[in-house]
Structure 1
Amino acid sequence: MPLPAPTLTPPFNIVRLSHVELRVTDLAWSRGYYVDTLGLQVTHEDADSIYLRAMEERGHHCMILRKSGEGSVGVLGFKVWSEEDLDRAEHWFRARGLPTAWISRPFMGRVLATRDPWGVPLEFYAAMDRLPPIHQQYKLYRGVKPLRIDHFNLFSANVDAAVAFYGEMGFRVTEYTADEDSGRIWAAWMHRKGGVHDIAFTNGTGPRLHHTAFWVPTPLNIIDLMDLMATSGYLDNIERGPGRHGISNAFFLYIRDRDGHRTEIYCSDYQTCDPDLEPIKWDLKDPQRQTLWGAPAPRSWFELGSAFDGAALVDSDLTAQPIIAP
């Protein structure tokens, strides 16, 4: 199936991805992992939740850790350009028979809650509380020195349909993997902010969150984090890497927390803001697709993900698989 043409004048203007809410079973353990080890900054904390931001971010939070009986994902958040875009977004989702509600969220203005056609909980906002800049407070930098949230990656049972739906909202494809036998898209990377992706879709049982990614200064920060995790009780939380992706050209590391939530530590992809930029196509069997150096991903990377609250899982009918490490 060919890629749909990009929507260059979308019905409402999404600026970028913004935040994720992770439900976690042990808030103290999660604080030690995300704050003390990875280096995210606490902006609010109470008995049931921790709000976090990265070093370059001025918005109040990019991640919410919420205490729960089981690990899951509460919502994916996106910032829009204006309050008028929020109203246009509500109309657009309602016209497609999808649920909408105006909700109250701490540290945020008006928030539109909705779901995509597969049940992924989404929220959109125009205004979040602004905090003083801390990017030059170098005494605060620790762990992997996370600078900003970069993207979400989701397992999707039908990547073609996901690309079409999110494409209507103005997300543009930068790179994609084609299954030549079926003619279908196996994975796709889509952006709003001018990097390789704000959101990506990977074939598999879905919808599930595959990972949330944070941008860091250099590959050396990833090496430093590997040393730190390997010597401070987190060796088993390292899943894949470090390495360099073929797709996106980014240097990466994948780690998973106690509840199975996967984080990618990520840097050095490329600029994609030109509206006529042509997507890069990859063959599913190309060994450099996953890792430029040719190393395949482990089976867990293709099978394990975090469920979204209230979304029913569906198995993909596309059985094609890339090379998997033994």
Structure 2
Amino acid sequence: MPIPAPVLYPPFNIVRLSHVEYRVQNLAKSRAFYVDTLGLQVTAEDETSIHLRALEERGHHCIILKQADTSDVGVLGFKLYDDPDLDKAADWFSARGLPVDWVERPHMGRTLLTRDPWGIPLEFYVKMDRLEPIHQAYKLYRGVRPLRIDHFNMFSANVDASVAFYTEMGFRTTEYTEDADSGKVWAAWMHRKGGVHDVAFTNGRGPRLHHTAFWVPTPMAIIDLLDLMATTGWVENIERGPGRHGISNAFFLYVLDPDGHRIEIYCSDYQTVDPDLEPIKWDLKDPQRQTLWGAAAPKSWFEHGSGFDGAIVEEPALRAQPIIAP
């Protein structure tokens, strides 16, 4: 199935991805991972939740950690351009028979909560509390020195359908992997903010969140994080990397938080702002698509993911499989 043409004038204007809510079973242990190890900054905290931001971000938070009995994902958040876009988004989702609720969120203005057709909980907002800049407060640069949230990658049981739906919302495909035998898309990378992706979809049991990624200043930040994790009790949480992707050209590392939520540390992709930029096609059997250099991805990388609250996970229709490390 060919990649659909981009919708250059979408029904509402998504600026970028914004935040994720992780449910965690030990808030103190999660704090030690995200704050003391990765280096995210606490912006609000109580006995049931912690709000975090990265070092370049002026919005109040990019991650919400919530104490819970289960380890899953509460919502994926996206920023819209202006207030009328919220009402346009509500009308658009409602016209497709999808839920529309106006919810109250701490540190955020009017917020629309909905779901995509496969049950992924999505929320849209325009205004979030703005904080003072800290990007030049170098005494705060610890751990991997995360600068900003970069993207979400989701397992999808039908990547072609996911790409078609998110294209309607205005996401543009930058790169994709095709299974030559079936002609179906095995994975796709889609953006709003002018990087390689804000969202990506990977064939697998879904919907589940494969990972959330953070942009860092240099590959050396990743090496420093590896040294830190290896000497502070987190070495078993290093899952894959470092290495470089063929897709996106990014230098990467994948780690798991205490609940098994996967975090990618990421730098060195490229600009995609031109509206007529053609997507790059990769063959599923090309070993350099996922790993330009470095060890091949382990089996866990293709199988493990975080469930979404309220979503029913289904097996993928496409059974094709890329190269897996032994």
Tell me the TM-score range normalised by the shorter chain: over 0.9
Distance 1:290 1:38 in 2: 24
Distance 2:176 2:183 in 1: 12
* TM superposition shift of 1:257: 1.2
**Measured at CA, do residues 162 and 205 of structure 1 come closer, stay the same or move farther in structure 2, by a change above 3 Å?**
same
* TM superposition shift of 1:70: 1.3
Match of 1:290, SS? coil
Q: Is 1:145 equivalent to 2:145 in the alignment?
A: yes
Distance 2:294 2:75 in 1: 34
Counterpart residue number, 2:296: 296
The one-letter code matched in structure 2 to 1:241 is G
Match of 2:248, SS? coil
Q: Is 1:271 equivalent to 2:271 in the alignment?
A: yes
Aligned residues: 326
1:190/1:199 contact within 8 Å kept: yes
* TM superposition shift of 1:163: 0.1
1:174/1:278 contact within 8 Å kept: yes
Alignment of 1:164-179 (within 5 A): 164-179=164-179
Counterpart residue number, 2:16: 16
1:287/1:294 contact within 8 Å kept: no
Counterpart residue number, 1:195: 195
2:243/2:294 contact within 8 Å kept: no
1:213/1:264 contact within 8 Å kept: yes
Could you tell me which runs of 5 or more consecutive residues in structure 2 were left unpaired when the two chains were aligned: none
Match of 1:23, SS? strand
Distance 1:91 1:130 in 2: 28
Counterpart residue number, 1:242: 242
* TM superposition shift of 1:294: 5.9
Match of 1:19, SS? strand
Distance 2:80 2:290 in 1: 31
Counterpart residue number, 1:260: 260
The one-letter code matched in structure 1 to 2:225 is L
Q: Is 1:112 equivalent to 2:112 in the alignment?
A: yes
Per-residue CA shift, 1:2-49, capped at 9, x if unaligned?
Answer: 111100000000000000000000000000000000000000000000
Distance 1:278 1:296 in 2: 27
Per-residue CA shift, 1:204-244, capped at 9, x if unaligned?
Answer: 00000000000000000000000000111000000000000
The one-letter code matched in structure 2 to 1:121 is P
Distance 1:197 1:41 in 2: 24
Counterpart residue number, 1:251: 251
Query: So what's the TM-score if we normalise by structure 1?
Result: 1.00
Match of 2:295, SS? coil
The one-letter code matched in structure 1 to 2:62 is C
1:288/1:294 contact within 8 Å kept: no
Dislocated runs of 4+, deviation >3 Å: none
Distance 1:166 1:257 in 2: 28
Alignment of 1:79-228 (within 5 A): 79-228=79-228
Counterpart residue number, 2:60: 60
The one-letter code matched in structure 1 to 2:178 is A
Distance 2:198 2:131 in 1: 23
Per-residue CA shift, 1:242-298, capped at 9, x if unaligned?
Answer: 000000000000000121100000001000000000000000010101111163200
The one-letter code matched in structure 2 to 1:95 is A
Alignment of 1:29-40 (within 5 A): 29-40=29-40
Distance 2:136 2:257 in 1: 29
Match of 2:222, SS? helix
Distance 2:295 2:304 in 1: 19
Could you tell me which runs of 5 or more consecutive residues in structure 1 were left unpaired when the two chains were aligned: none
Counterpart residue number, 1:46: 46
The one-letter code matched in structure 1 to 2:266 is Y
The one-letter code matched in structure 2 to 1:263 is I
Tell me the percent identity: 76
Q: Is 1:76 equivalent to 2:76 in the alignment?
A: yes
Q: Is 1:310 equivalent to 2:296 in the alignment?
A: no
The one-letter code matched in structure 1 to 2:166 is Y
Query: So what's the TM-score if we normalise by structure 2?
Result: 1.00
